[in-house]
Amino acid sequence: MALRTITSEHRDLQQISIHVPSRSTSIRNQETDMQWTDLDRLLVQLWESHAIYTKIVYSTEEEGRKAACGYIGGLLPEMTERGIIEVVC
């Protein structure tokens, strides 16, 4: 909800960092998937209107790192497809 309050007056905002704990990806349902879809759309809009860079930081164990990065890309497909997101695992 806080991201929806960003306006053209927020000229100094250059980056949004979202920290995702590893346990959050195991809790998926229709409601959380819709929230990720809404977030994806909103972040794309912020990129298009304000060129705000987005970084997702995902904490996971070493062996699950590659799969986790792909998983986050699946939650934010439009941002991933456009290449306007950095996923740090």
Whole-angstrom distance, CA of residue 70 vs CA of residue 65: 9
Domains of the chain, by residue range, sit at 15-23+31-88
Report pLDDT for 71. 77
pTM, two decimals, is: 0.75
Question: pLDDT by residue for the chain (89 residues), tens digit each?
Answer: 777 777 667 778 888 898 877 655 555 677 888 888 999 999 998 898 888 889 988 776 666 666 667 777 788 999 999 999 988 87
Report pLDDT for 8. 67
Angle at the Cα of 70 from the Cα atoms of 60 and 43, rounded to 5 degrees: 95
- The secondary structure element, H or E, covering residue 72 is helix 65-75
